[in-house]
Amino acid sequence: MENRELINLAKQAMENAYAPYSSFKVGAAVVGKKGTVYTGCNIENVSYGATNCAERTAMFKGVSEGEIEFKKIAIVSTAQDLTFPCGICRQVMAEFMRGGMVILEDKEGIIKEFSVEELLPKAFVR
């Protein structure tokens, strides 16, 4: 799947975000090793600790369908600029996306790629 297509799927997923507390909507689209795409949005909760990020929503959907290896993930937000994954999401990526790529779009519409290892060097992995 081309990066632009993946970004567009992440934008569609962002429309479903539940973000009544921060108003910061995020969408993600991840490609599994088998080629299937899973999308996700952020889902907030008044307790904040129960909030789930778009990246983990997408990856966990894939894992729940039997996919445990992902090749790349696109992430977008209402900030309409590079939106890097949080630390928890980076750790989940280290588990399920070894050698994977993170695809982001800046405010000019330019797509940039980062390796999971670049975003979380010396990750805690088994």
Three-class SS state of 125: coil
CATH number for 70: 3.40.140.10
pLDDT of residue 111: 98
Residue 124 lies in a domain: no
Convert the pLDDT of each residue in 108-119 to its tens digit.
999 999 999 999
- Give the catalytic positions in this structure: 55
**Quick count: other Cβ atoms within 10 Å of Cβ 94?**
19
Q: Give residue 102's pLDDT band: very low, low, confident or very high (50, 70, 90).
A: very high
Q: Which two tokens stand for residue 83?
A: 């939106």
The structural domain count of the chain equals 1
Q: Over the chain, what is the mean pLDDT?
A: 97
Q: Give residue 126's pLDDT band: very low, low, confident or very high (50, 70, 90).
A: confident
Answer for the pair 105, 76: CB distance below 8 angstroms, yes or no.
yes
- Domain that residue 47 falls in: 3-119
Residue 125 lies in a domain: no
Whether pLDDT at 95 is above 90: yes
pTM to 2 decimal places:
0.97
Residue 126 lies in a domain: no
Residue 40 lies in a domain: yes
